Structures are given as structure tokens and as C-alpha cells.
């Protein structure tokens, strides 16, 4: 029998990667928290309808990538492919927007999309994101961009490029859609199969196609179809970003081709990520989404960033924390009554650092070798004739300590190790 493999397109988080993962989530929570955002979480699966309506037909996610199943009660369920629709459902379902406006929330959640796995693309992946729900003002569009920007700066990730566009309002998009149809219809036979379908269902998505990129070069631009009010909205977002010192590139080909998106659309790109997978994340304004989900019309804006992709960049740039040993100190007992004493010392020392206790009957040399393999800095030998012996496993230097001085001696060793290598 062959051992069971993980499902294709999934990854395990192994302990060596845990410090980077925790650093990432804690930094995001801290940055979002400092901007007034509170944690929200939603179910891993939802009624399929939430995403069918909340992401929309004509998108790859809904048309090709959803993990949909019928549960034992005969209901169609889908594993969460994105966070905005479920978060909006949760906030409006709990009437949070009636208590205060806007509602600011952040999340860190697993997402599921049935896609061909490749570098930077998994079937289960993770995103952090924020949503500002209940107000429509350019300052909030700029605010969410600023939270993402400050977050990536705090991770010390270099070289992030902000791509910014306006999708206007629904009237603007109707005009733009007509211009796109007029431009692409004579080209129909030359377009790829997907794009021929997009031309009928969702012409804005034509601009996304990598295969037909050569036709997109001369396609009409949304900027030429924006009303005065939409132009002003975009300019105002841009002014807020200028004030915040956040540079951006206007990218008129950046589209989210759904009716309930409005005005701001943005992506964060990184030059080290190749091809179609160069986006670290993105977001935008979705003023028509609440209505689409059956709630009273409520504006909102937010972003989602891919954790795995950002961690890849962080690792490449050497800014992610290194793997950590499971414990800094190993208590090695030597038989007899030393196990009880070892246990007591372990409890006490855990107020200061991470401690494992080796209470087995094995020989001391074996225990020390294992403590070294564990990557611990210190071993405390308990039950020897000379008393408690604290050994620095990196330098090999030992000192005899007493029950009263052991905590201070351990603290001093940890401090010295933190300050630099002891040659």
C-alpha cells in the first residue's frame, strides 16, 4: 500500500515555516489593528449562491474554479474561493453597519480554487484582507490601499508596485462595454475560445486575457468613458494617495468585469513574480455587491493579499524570520529523584523561555546529543553530584548553578546569545 499523499495543489505548513507564517499573520493583525480594523472570520463553506452572485458569472472563479458539492441535505455548498462576499454577508447579516459606519474588519482565511496547480497557484491558498463597509468616500479607498502598503512596508518587502484604475459607475461601464463590443466584434474569429465567450457574457474580462494581449493594445480605454463625477472620484483617491506618499501607476487595463464593482480597482505587483502570477494581491470598491446578495444597498471597499506569494517574496528578500528550535533549553535528568526536580525546574523556567524536559532513563551523553540536535541553546543537567549544571550547547561552557540562581543564569545566557554570536 502506498502512503497517502496530500491533495494536489495543497501544501502543509511544516514547523520550519511556522515562524515566518506567524510573523506574517501577527504583523498583518498588528497593522490592521493600529488602523482600527477588527478580526472577522467566516465559514470555510457557504451556500453556492453566495459566490455565484457575489463573485459573478463570467468570472473564471465561478465558471471554472469553484469547489462545489451537494451536502447530505441536498444543498449546494462551495468552499470559500474569496473573502469579500462572505465577509459582507457576515457584517450585514449581523447588522454591524447599523451600530457604526463604516465597519472596519480584517481577516486571514484559507481559500479554495480548482485551478491547474503551478508556481504561485495552489488549490488551497491563504489570504489576508480588510474590508471597509458602510461608507462611500474616496478616503476609504485610499485608506485600505494604505493599510496594505504599510503592512508590506512593515514586512520590509521591497519593490511593490501599486497599479490603480477606475472602473467608473455602472453607466460608465455600459458605455465602455459598448465600445469594447464594437472594437472586438470584427476580431471575433481571431480571439481565443474563452474570449469569444467573454465577448458575449462579460466583455470587460477580454482585457484580462494573456493569449489575446496583442488585440488588447489598441482596445478602447475606460478612462475615455468616465463621467465627470467618476473622474473626480478617481482624482480624489489619487490625491489621498499622494498625501500618504504612496506611488502608483495608472493601469487602464486593470478590470474587474462585474456590475457591482465601482470606481477604484487596484493590484499590488512584484517584479520578482513571473507572468500571470505577478500579483501579490488586489482589491477595489464593490458598492453594488450588498444589493446583489439581497441586502440593502451598502457600499464597501477592501483588499486581499496572497499569503503564500508574499511569503515567497519575503523569503527571496531574506526578510522572513529564520526557523526556530522547538525549545531554547533542555532539562536533562540523571535518574532517581532528579525527574521530580527536573519537572519542577521546567515549570519555573518556562516563565522565562521555552523548555523541554528529557526525563527518560537514557544516558546523559545521549540526552545532550539530542538537545544539540533539537537546536537548543542550553541544557540544564539535574541530579549530578556537583549540583545543577547549566551547559551552553554552542560554546560547551558549563557552570554550576543553584536553585536560586538558575533563573538569572539562564536569563544571562539568553541575553548574551540574543546580542550576537559568542565566539
User: Quick one: CA dihedral 256, 257, 260, 262, positive or negative?
Assistant: positive
| Least distance from ligand AMP to the Cβ atom of residue 121, Å | 4
Contact letters (x/-) for ligand AMP, 43-62, by CB under 6 A?
A: --------------------
| The only residue of 142, 241, 280, 378 in contact with ligand AMP, by rule CB under 6 A | 280
Task: Closer to ligand AMP by CB, 101 or 271: give it.
Answer: 271
Whether 260 has a binding-site annotation, put simply, is yes
Q: Which three cell numbers stand for residue 199?
A: 465577448
279 binds ligand AMP (CB under 6 A): yes
Helix-helix angle 18-34:307-316, to 10 degrees:
110
Whether 127 has a binding-site annotation, put simply, is yes
281 binds ligand AMP (CB under 6 A): yes
Contact letters (x/-) for ligand AMP, 115-154, by CB under 6 A?
A: x----xxx--x-x---------------------------
Give the total of residues touching ligand AMP (CB under 6 A).
Answer: 16
Task: Closer to ligand AMP by CB, 102 or 306: give it.
Answer: 306
Whether 83 has a binding-site annotation, put simply, is yes
| Least distance from ligand AMP to the Cβ atom of residue 19, Å | 21
Task: Closer to ligand AMP by CB, 127 or 165: give it.
Answer: 127
Task: Closer to ligand AMP by CB, 273 or 357: give it.
Answer: 273
113 binds ligand AMP (CB under 6 A): yes
Q: What is the SS3 assignment for the chain? A: CCCCCCCCCCCCCCHHHHHHHHHHHHHHHHHHHHCCCEECCCCCEEEHHHHHHHCCCCCHHHHHHCCEEECCCCCEEEECCCCHHHHHHHHHHCCHHHHCCCEEEEEEEEEECCCCCECCECCEEEEEEEEEECCCCHHHHHHHHHHHHHHHHHCCCCCEEEEEEECCCHHHHHHHHHHHHHHHHHHHHHCCHHHHHHHHHCHHHHHHCCCCHHHHCCCCCHHHHCCHHHHHHHHHHHHHHHHHCCCCEECCCCCCCCCCCEEEEEEEEECCCCHHHCEEEEEEECCCHHHHCCCCCCCEEEEEEEHHHHHHHHHHCCCCCCCCCCCCEEEEECCCCHHHHHHHHHHHHCCCCCEEEECCCCCHHHHHHHHHHHCCCEEEEEEECCEEEEEECCCCCEEEECCCCHHHHHHHHHHHHHHCCCC
112 binds ligand AMP (CB under 6 A): no
Segment interacting with ligand AMP (CB under 6 A) among 100-108, 189-197, 275-283, 330-338: 275-283
| The only residue of 82, 131, 287, 358 in contact with ligand AMP, by rule CB under 6 A | 82
Cβ atoms of 24 and 311 closer than 8 Å: yes
Whether 113 has a binding-site annotation, put simply, is yes
| The only residue of 58, 134, 282, 284 in contact with ligand AMP, by rule CB under 6 A | 282
Segment interacting with ligand AMP (CB under 6 A) among 114-122, 159-167, 204-212, 291-299: 114-122
| The only residue of 205, 225, 309, 367 in contact with ligand AMP, by rule CB under 6 A | 309
Whether 248 has a binding-site annotation, put simply, is no
Segment interacting with ligand AMP (CB under 6 A) among 288-296, 305-313, 380-388, 415-423: 305-313
| Least distance from ligand AMP to the Cβ atom of residue 17, Å | 15
Task: Closer to ligand AMP by CB, 233 or 303: give it.
Answer: 303
Which residues make Cβ contacts (< 8 Å) with residue 422, sequence separation at least 6? 392, 394, 395, 416
Segment interacting with ligand AMP (CB under 6 A) among 42-50, 102-110, 181-189, 274-282: 274-282
Annotated binding site for L-histidine, which residues? Answer: 82-84, 113, 127, 131, 256, 260-261
Binding site for ligand AMP (CB under 6 A): 82, 113, 115, 120-122, 125, 127, 279-282, 304, 306, 308-309
Amino acid at each position: 500500500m502506498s502512503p497517502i499523499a496530500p491533495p494536489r495543489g495543497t501544501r502543509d505548513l511544516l514547523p520550519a515555516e511556522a515562524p515566518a507564517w506567524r510573523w506574517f499573520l501577527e504583523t498583518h493583525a498588528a497593522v490592521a489593528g493600529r488602523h482600527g480594523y477588527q478580526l472577522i472570520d467566516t465559514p470555510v463553506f457557504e451556500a453556492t449562491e453566495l459566490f455565484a452572485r457575489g463573485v459573478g458569472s463570467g468570472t473564471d472563479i465561478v465558471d471554472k474554479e469553484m469547489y462545489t458539492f451537494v451536502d447530505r441535505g441536498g444543498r449546494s455548498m462551495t468552499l470559500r474561493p474569496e473573502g469579500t462576499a462572505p465577509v459582507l454577508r457576515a457584517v450585514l447579516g449581523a447588522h454591524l453597519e447599523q451600530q457604526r459606519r463604516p465597519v472596519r474588519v480584517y481577516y486571514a482565511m484559507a481559500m479554495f480554487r480548482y485551478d491547474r496547480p503551478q508556481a504561485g497557484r495552489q488549490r488551497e491558498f491563504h489570504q489576508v484582507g480588510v474590508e471597509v463597509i458602510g461608507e462611500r468616500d474616496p478616503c476609504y479607498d485610499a485608506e485600505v490601499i494604505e493599510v496594505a502598503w504599510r503592512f508590506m512596508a512593515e514586512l520590509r518587502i521591497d519593490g511593490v508596485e501599486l497599479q490603480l484604475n477606475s472602473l467608473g459607475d455602472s453607466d460608465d461601464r455600459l458605455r465602455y462595454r459598448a465600445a469594447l463590443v464594437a472594437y472586438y466584434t470584427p476580431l471575433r474569429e481571431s480571439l481565443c475560445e474563452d474570449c469569444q465567450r467573454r465577448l458575449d457574457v462579460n466583455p470587460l474580462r477580454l482585457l484580462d486575457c494573456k493569449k489575446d494581449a496583442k488585440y488588447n493594445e489598441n482596445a478602447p480605454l475606460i478612462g475615455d468613458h468616465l463621467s465627470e463625477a467618476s473622474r473626480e472620484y478617481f482624482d480624489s483617491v489619487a490625491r489621498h494617495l499622494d498625501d500618504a506618499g504612496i506611488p502608483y501607476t495608472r493601469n487602464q487595463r486593470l478590470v474587474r468585469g462585474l456590475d457591482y464593482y465601482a470606481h477604484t480597482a487596484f493590484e499590488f505587483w512584484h517584479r520578482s513574480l513571473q507572468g500571470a502570477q505577478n500579483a501579490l494581491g488586489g482589491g477595489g470598491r464593490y458598492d453594488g455587491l450588498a444589493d446583489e446578495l439581497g441586502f440593502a444597498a451598502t457600499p464597501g471597499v477592501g483588499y486581499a493579499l496572497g499569503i503564500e506569494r508574499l511569503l515567497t517574496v519575503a523569503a527571496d528578500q531574506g526578510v522572513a524570520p529564520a526557523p526556530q528550535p522547538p525549545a531554547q533549553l533542555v532539562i536533562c535528568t540523571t535518574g532517581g529523584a532528579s525527574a521530580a526536580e527536573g519537572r519542577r525546574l521546567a515549570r519555573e523556567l518556562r516563565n522565562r523561555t521555552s523548555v523541554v524536559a528529557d526525563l527518560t532513563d537514557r544516558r546523559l551523553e545521549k540526552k545532550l546529543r539530542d538537545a544539540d540536535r533539537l537546536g537548543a541553546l542550553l541544557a540544564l543537567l539535574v541530579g549530578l553530584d556537583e549540583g545543577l549544571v547549566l551547559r551552553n550547547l554552542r560554546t560547551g561552557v558549563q557552570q554550576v548553578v543553584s536553585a536560586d540562581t538558575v533563573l538569572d543564569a539562564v536569563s544571562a545566557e539568553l541575553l548574551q546569545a540574543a546580542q550576537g554570536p559568542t565566539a
